[in-house]
Structure 1
Amino acid sequence: MFSSLGWGEIVLLLIVALFVFGPDRLPGIAKDASGALKKVRGFVTGAREQIRDELGDDFADLDLGSLNPREFVRRQLLDDDPPPLTKRSNGAARSGSGRVSTTKPTSATMTDAGAPAVSRPAPPLRTAGETPPYDADAT
């Protein structure tokens, strides 16, 4: 969290605190801040012990670092698993490696609700000089 905070910034914060709070109140504020930090550490330690007691052996399998969104994205980006199949414009499934699957797409696919999916014909392709349609209400 404070990995980008260097010594220069810390000294600057201390000087600002000295001017804002004054030399008389600064030791008391530092003492109160350290007491609050100790309380927070105690709460976190107590919560961790309570989770460990309630989960038992499953706590060893619980990786709290994997719940961090940055770690999740990093793991997904650096994972060596093959990418999922993607649809090509002609309906054939294509993997990330460029191989085309041999399975034929079914004509009557079902949606999650159980109703057959409605397929619409693809819009016609435009020529090189033709401009795309413009809808003034949509912009």
Structure 2
Amino acid sequence: MFGINGWEFVIIIVVAMLVIGPERLPGYAEQLGALVRRGRDLLQTAKARVDDELGPEFSDVDWSKLDPRQYDPRKIVRDALLDDSPPPYSRTADRDGGPNGSPRSAAPAAEPGRAPYDDEAT
């Protein structure tokens, strides 16, 4: 909240109470309460208007799933690396089918510790 921690906020409130004084404090508190109520009403009205203009097809959208703060790049990479889905066929395996049209691997397996070399890569 504006880079102010809890103790600094308490000190600001105490100084404001001393500067404003006990005779004007109830009036300012009433004005602050009215401002908060108007702000809350304004936000509720704006939310209702947006919901009306978007229509019923957006009422069932779970907006929390689209929150960018929930994405953890480490988890995304970990899930992608641990995915057990089979690798897609390469173009060479599709073009050079094995016996009975079954696809065969395009290149022999690479030595352990070395990356495979693709001679068709651009």
TM-score (norm: length of structure 1): 0.46
- When residues 65 and 49 of structure 1 are mapped into structure 2, their CA distance, relative to the original with a 3 A threshold, is farther
- When residues 5 and 45 of structure 1 are mapped into structure 2, their CA distance, relative to the original with a 3 A threshold, is farther
Measured in 1, the distance between the counterparts of 2:36 and 2:117 equals 58
How far 1:51 sits from its partner (Å)?
A: 1.4
Q: CA RMSD in A?
A: 3.3
Larger Rg: 2
Higher fraction of helix: 2
How far 1:34 sits from its partner (Å)?
A: 1.1
Structure scoring higher RCO (CA < 8 A, sep ≥ 6) equals 2
TM-score (norm: length of structure 2): 0.51
Match of 1:31 in 2: 30
Measured in 1, the distance between the counterparts of 2:117 and 2:45 equals 53
Structure 2, gaps ≥5 residues long: 82-113
How far 1:77 sits from its partner (Å)?
A: 2.1
CA deviations 1:60-106 (Å, max 9, x no partner) are 315168456xx1xx5152442449xxxxxxxxxxxxxx96573511x
Aligned residue type for 2:59: F
Match of 1:104 in 2: 121
Matched residues, number: 85
Match of 2:60 in 1: 60
How far 1:9 sits from its partner (Å)?
A: 4.1
